[in-house]
Amino acid sequence: MRPCAATLAAEMTPEEHAFLLRLLEAERLPGPHLEIGTAAGGTLAAMMRCFDDADRPPFVVVDRMTYFPDQLETVRRNLKEHGLRADDVDFRVATSAAALREAARRRERFDFMLIDASHKVLAVTADLRWTRLLNAGGIVCVHDYARRSPGVMLPIDRFLARNHHYAKLGQAGSLLAVRKLWAAGSREIGVFDWIDSLLRSLPLEVRRKLSKRQARRRAAA
């Protein structure tokens, strides 16, 4: 069981959490806010409380809700304990890819995105495809952007190197904030990004499995 399932706390450090909330309060972006990967909803509740009920933008959450048992009900309970209405959140229990297809079909747009789901290269690359729905001037934040999480850092570094219409706003701990400066004529994630992610994912997955096997051997010794 994940600790956050019992504590209902955000899976960010205090430094990262404070940086995120300062950013939201300073920007006051009016358009829909998207969170990809919500854990127990601790960060979601904090982000929503940055706004008064009257001027809070729509919040959308994309998550398969399989992180721990009864995850969706835990998130809803967490929001209630923070004085928030869970029914005000558009929960989309689906994979990132499936939810994106539906959002694109409905021509949705967002002003803010927080990506904090799987740390695997292919999954992060899939989540980055949502940026095509980010409005110019909007912000995308990525958690666990650090050397300890190469599955996050590698695709983000490639994304920024290839998409010059994005600029770093700042970083606290492993929370990176980036602004979309203008809308590009093509999608941010293309075929070659997928090929690169696939090639990078194979050695990282082998390394991860070896590390887990070694950890089990040490625990049994």
**What's the pLDDT at 1?**
59
Q: Edge-to-edge strand order for the sheet containing 134-142?
A: 89-93, 59-63, 33-36, 110-115, 134-142, 175-180, 166-172
Rounded-to-5 percentages of helix, strand, coil across the chain: 50, 20, 35
> Following DSSP, what letter does each residue of 62-98 receive, concatenated?
EE-S-SSTTHHHHHHHHHHHTT--GGGEEEEES-HHH
DSSP state of 107: T
Q: What is the pTM of this model?
A: 0.92
For the ranges 148-152, 189-193, 201-205, the lowest mean pLDDT is seen at 201-205
Closest Cα partner for 41 from 16, 1, 72, 19?
A: 72
Burial degree of 9 (CB within 10 A; 0-12, 13-18, 19+): middle
- Read off the pLDDT of residues 142-190 as tens digits, 9 standing for 90 and up: 999 999 999 999 999 999 999 999 999 999 999 999 999 999 988 999 9
- Domains, the chain, with CATH or none: 3-220 (3.40.50.150)
**What's the pLDDT at 220?**
75
Assign 2 a pLDDT band (cuts: 50, 70, 90): low
